[in-house]
């Protein structure tokens, strides 16, 4: 099931990248590139950092096809997709949860410290969007408004607590992904955000 959700996540991440690039009036090649790095940038960075090369998408060409599909859908339907923004948020959030989980598991396979695994999970889920914003010459929205990186971190901590408590592996996956997805939606609904860095200076 997680494979299916992973596919959905990649597709929606690619579409979110493509729509941003279309909005920025990039040409078709630019739109494709931004779709690509938004969908695969986080996982690519993870693989490069831990030395898992050639990086993942090179060994599974399906990813390239999924992104191409997301690219085509975005180009053809971009006017209609605007109205589906809320449904897309749901899928985007699914990607967020699944990508975090997959990377936590890959980190463990490489015998990395729990803290490092959590950082890897957060990088994978969020860095595609950061690269997207850098390529569009903007300060990453992740660093200014979005709360979702925090959810990846808390989800990662939950993952290791449940492992310590010897919860079955399948249940852990389900709990962590559900946690990230539900809190993201609640956060979005209530417009939660992190305080900015001058929080203590304001006193």
**CB 13, CB 97: distance < 8 Å:** no
Shorter beta-carbon distance to its own copies: residue 132 or 173 = 132
Q: How far is the CB of 60 from its own copies (least distance, A)?
A: 9
State the nearest-atom distance from the C-beta of 110 to its own copies, in Å. Answer: 6
Give min distance, CB of 174 to its own copies, in A. 26
For residues 138 and 169, which CB has a smaller minimum distance to its own copies in the complex? 138
Find, among 180, 64, 51, 163, the residue nearest to 105 by Cα: 163
Nearest approach, Cβ of 87 to its own copies (angstroms)? Answer: 19
**Closest residue by Cα to residue 106 from 66, 63, 50:** 50
Closest CA to 18 of 87, 66, 86, 90: 66
Tell me whether residue 5 or residue 33 sits nearer to its own copies (CB atom): 33
Report, in angstroms and rounded to the nearest whole number, the Rg of the chain calculated over CA atoms.
17
Binding footprint of its own copies on the chain (CB under 8 A)? 18, 21-22, 24-31, 33-34, 44, 48-51, 53-55, 57-58, 61, 64, 74-76, 78-79, 110, 112-113, 115-116, 119, 130, 134-140, 142-145, 147, 149-150, 193-201
Structure-block tokens of residue 134: 């850098």
Burial class (CB in 10 A: 0-12, 13-18, 19+), 26: middle
């Amino acid at each position: 099931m997680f494979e299916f959700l992973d596919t959905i996540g990649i597709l929606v991440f690619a579409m979110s990248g493509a729509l941003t690039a279309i909005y920025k009036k990039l040409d078709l090649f630019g739109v494709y590139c931004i779709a690509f790095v938004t969908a695969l940038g986080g996982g690519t960075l993870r693989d490069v950092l831990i030395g898992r090369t050639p990086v993942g998408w090179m060994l599974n060409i399906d990813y390239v096809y999924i992104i191409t599909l997301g690219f085509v859908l975005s180009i053809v339907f971009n006017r209609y997709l605007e109205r589906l923004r809320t449904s897309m948020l749901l899928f985007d959030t699914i990607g967020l949860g699944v990508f975090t989980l997959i990377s936590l598991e890959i980190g463990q396979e490489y015998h990395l410290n729990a803290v490092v695994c959590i950082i890897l999970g957060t990088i994978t889920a969020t860095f595609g969007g950061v690269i997207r914003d850098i390529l569009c010459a903007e300060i990453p929205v992740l660093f200014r408004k979005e709360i979702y990186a925090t959810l990846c971190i808390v989800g990662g901590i939950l993952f290791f607590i449940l492992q310590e408590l010897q919860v079955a592996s399948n249940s852990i996956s389900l709990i962590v992904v559900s946690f990230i997805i539900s809190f993201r939606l609640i956060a979005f609904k209530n417009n939660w955000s992190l305080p900015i860095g001058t929080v203590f200076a304001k006193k």
